[in-house]
Structure 1
Amino acid sequence: MKISFYLKFLVLCCFLLCSFKAVSQEVKIKLRPHSRSQYQVDYHFGEILDLRKNKELIGEVFYVTKKRIPVSFEEELDPALLDYFNSQIDTASEDNRKIQVRILDLSIYESPNYATKLYEGELKLRLAFYFKGNLNPIHLVTYSNLVKYQRTANSINKLQEVTNEYLDQSLAYFNQWMDMNAGTNRDLAKSVRMNARYILPDIQNDTIFYNPNIPLNWEYFKDRPDPLSKFNATITCSFSVEGNAQLNDGIIQQNIFIKAFMLPNQSWVKNPDDYGINHEQKHFDLLKVIVDRLIYRLNNTELELEFFEAKINEMYFDAYREMNRIQELYDTQTQNGMDAEQQQKWNFLIVKALKGEWEDLEKELGN
């Protein structure tokens, strides 16, 4: 009888993707990778972490001796399950997502049913799937299952079938989740595409937006002049950045909308004249140059997926500092418009810069 059972066991192993060894003191289960892939995917399993408290045993079961004997994997579970899962997937490209799996529970418990003369068992399986990028792993989904089974004393191979079946089901569950979420889950985005542009809203009473076809006029300077100031006029202008993002097919489309504006209620003039309005217009033009340069940098900088929002903020503050620096330099060199020769130089320099010819401006800045 023992020889017959052993032969049947060898035949059975040919049809199983996993095999086990049962000896008088212990049951050993060995995961065998699949011979061919089951799924065409855009990810791979890069790491398995066994977080069970007892990594040595799966549990205890009854064998022909009718005594409890321990069940464990023949090989260390982390690399064995990694090979087992990866054998079932065919990764379509090299640029694919790296998945980490955490084994939270994988355990078997059996008890005898004296009425039916069968052993009743439970397999608990809980796996957490994470996306592993350059930062901390991001939790995606957790698979949990409690499987109940019955077997006779001689059908120890039931453990093999149950373990194999529900490990496969966990992978099927995760693959289905990925199919449904990979294109719309921001955590799984593969790249980011930037679209930064200048927008021109309608004129508002308290805000004048930069429009190359509508020059400034003194009517926009509505604040009360400062009688103690030595300047004839002051313009208050700046820029704002707004944005939104959409995720399509795993690509984040980051839209950035930039406005350049002056504030009439914070801008004033004492003695309006044509020369003076030109000086203030060039302040406004320089603001638009700064915005153009920011848009260029945003659209032409290679952005890392995990850090692109921080990079956008960094470029925004760099542009803000550049705005203050260049406006101060303009006023210093022209003596707030009083030096006609320097004013003429800056007039030509700014006209060129508005066309995207920034070389002379960068020389002035020392870049």
Structure 2
Amino acid sequence: MLWIQYTLRICVLRLLLSALFLVVYAKTLAQQDRVLLNLKQENTSLIRQNQFFIQEVEDRRRAPGATLGKIIVFGRETPLFLPKSAEKELFSYWSKTVQKREQAYVPLYITIKDLALTEKRMGPNKVNGEAKLNVSFRWYRNMQAIELTSFQTTVTYGRTERDYDHAKLVTQMLDQSIIHFQKWMLGNVGKNAALARNLILIFKDIQGRNDGDTVFYHPKRPLIWDDFRGKGKVGSRYAAAVFTSFAYEGRSFPKGADMVLEIGLKVFMVKSMSWGNANARNANTIRHEQLHFDVTRVVVERFKERLKKADLTIDDFDSEIQYQFLESFREMNTEQENYDGETGHGINAGAQEKWDRKLTAEINRIYSVQ
């Protein structure tokens, strides 16, 4: 009888243990419906010399959120997730890597195009996997997105069905991406216009040789009658005519954190298009023509002032410069007509003297400042 009771107790105990095992196993399976991957930043001094900081991380994957793909757990595919969204997790991770944040640094926006792990069970205790990361880097200048560079990598691996450090694999790829950007930036600062923060406008007067068909404006080099080599118009009622104009040429280049825009200006007269009648080649006539040249030079100075006040941006300065050039060219023509109209082409001595004083003062002011 005792033996039967003992045997029954053992059977009941075994049943209880089996039930407990089933409960634990079921709980384990339930827990393995998904696997959480925690990103741990082990090297906070990975980026020591940075000129940027992480401003924002944007997830543009086909399936944004916390999902990372599927891995093999207990012989079956199991979803892999981050604790929070990829945007929050990667922002936190990279921000710990790039801790230094200064106002003069580039605010970096990172776009996640691909971040995924996939695994396949190839046989008993044999798993093949693939991890992908594809990110792009940009920043905003004057509310315009400036694309900088990108990073893409794919890692294939094989493993047993034992525990595998997926977190280490992912963090290594994340570290590689930010190191890639740091190297790119160090190699492009001061060389690449995409990183320029400010536009610096400078002007340069272009002087050439005066022994050809062109005379370049200079206050110490007034016009002489030998500069007037064109043929006058038959029947013209004017004593002389001078062809003056101006042009510009520009070049831009990065310098430190700035973009330098250099505008070269040419103010000139063309000898073959300028003429003077032989019986009118006197001091008064050539002085009148010289003031035409001065008018052009004064308008060029106003053109420079227009550009200083214009809304020139690093991303689009050429169209604005061309617009201001055309406006100044119209102003030059109008001013030349006003000059001839008020002075009667030099016949009205009082008006001629008034224009002479005004333009002489303007030219003196321009070159005293220079």
TM-score (norm: length of structure 2): 0.81
Instruction: Indicate the residue corresponding to 2:147 in structure 1.
Output: 139
* Residue 160 of structure 1, CA deviation: 1.3
1:125 to 120, 126, 133: 133
Instruction: Indicate the residue corresponding to 1:353 in structure 2.
Output: 362
Q: Is the 8 A contact 2:82 2:89 kept in 1?
A: no
Instruction: Indicate the residue corresponding to 2:260 in structure 1.
Output: 253
State yes or no: 1:221 paired with 2:228: yes
1:173 to 164, 173, 180: 180
The CA distance in 2 between the partners of 1:320 and 1:84, in whole Å, is: 57
Instruction: Indicate the residue corresponding to 2:275 in structure 1.
Output: 268
State yes or no: 1:235 paired with 2:245: no
Residue correspondence of structure 1 range 200-349 to structure 2 within 5 A: 200-270=207-277, 271-295=280-304, 298=307, 304-349=313-358
Distance 1:137-1:340 versus aligned 2 partners, 3 A rule: same
State yes or no: 1:79 paired with 2:79: no
Cα deviation, 1:118-139, whole Å, max 9, x if unaligned, reads: 3221101111222332354233
Residue correspondence of structure 1 range 5-44 to structure 2 within 5 A: 23-31=31-39, 36=44, 38-39=46-47, 40-44=49-53
- Whose helix proportion is higher, 1 or 2? 2
Letter in 2 for 1:69: T
With 82-91 and 282-291 compared, the bigger mean Cα shift is at 82-91
Q: Secondary structure at the match of 1:327?
A: helix
Q: Secondary structure at the match of 2:221?
A: coil
Distance 1:317-1:98 versus aligned 2 partners, 3 A rule: farther
State yes or no: 1:161 paired with 2:171: no
Q: Is the 8 A contact 1:241 1:258 kept in 2?
A: yes
Q: Secondary structure at the match of 1:87?
A: helix
Q: Is the 8 A contact 2:141 2:197 kept in 1?
A: no
Instruction: Indicate the residue corresponding to 1:13 in structure 2.
Output: none
Q: Secondary structure at the match of 1:119?
A: strand
Instruction: Indicate the residue corresponding to 1:150 in structure 2.
Output: 158
The CA distance in 1 between the partners of 2:210 and 2:60, in whole Å, is: 61
The CA distance in 1 between the partners of 2:350 and 2:312, in whole Å, is: 43
* Residue 32 of structure 1, CA deviation: 5.6
* Residue 297 of structure 1, CA deviation: 5.4
* Residue 320 of structure 1, CA deviation: 2.2
2:70 to 60, 66, 81: 60
2:98 to 71, 85, 89: 89
Q: Is the 8 A contact 1:135 1:306 kept in 2?
A: no
Q: Secondary structure at the match of 2:365?
A: coil
Point out where structure 2 has 5 or more consecutive residues left out of the alignment: 1-29
With 339-348 and 272-281 compared, the bigger mean Cα shift is at 272-281
Cα deviation, 1:140-178, whole Å, max 9, x if unaligned, reads: 22211111233333415x211111121111111111111
Percent of aligned pairs with the same residue?
Answer: 27
State yes or no: 1:195 paired with 2:205: no
Point out where structure 1 has 5 or more consecutive residues left out of the alignment: 1-21, 359-367
Instruction: Indicate the residue corresponding to 2:5 in structure 1.
Output: none
The CA distance in 1 between the partners of 2:105 and 2:259, in whole Å, is: 16
Structure having the higher Rg? 2
TM-score (norm: length of structure 1): 0.82
Distance 1:316-1:93 versus aligned 2 partners, 3 A rule: farther
With 253-262 and 340-349 compared, the bigger mean Cα shift is at 253-262
The CA distance in 1 between the partners of 2:282 and 2:180, in whole Å, is: 74
Q: Secondary structure at the match of 1:205?
A: coil
The CA distance in 1 between the partners of 2:103 and 2:45, in whole Å, is: 17
Q: How many residues align?
A: 334
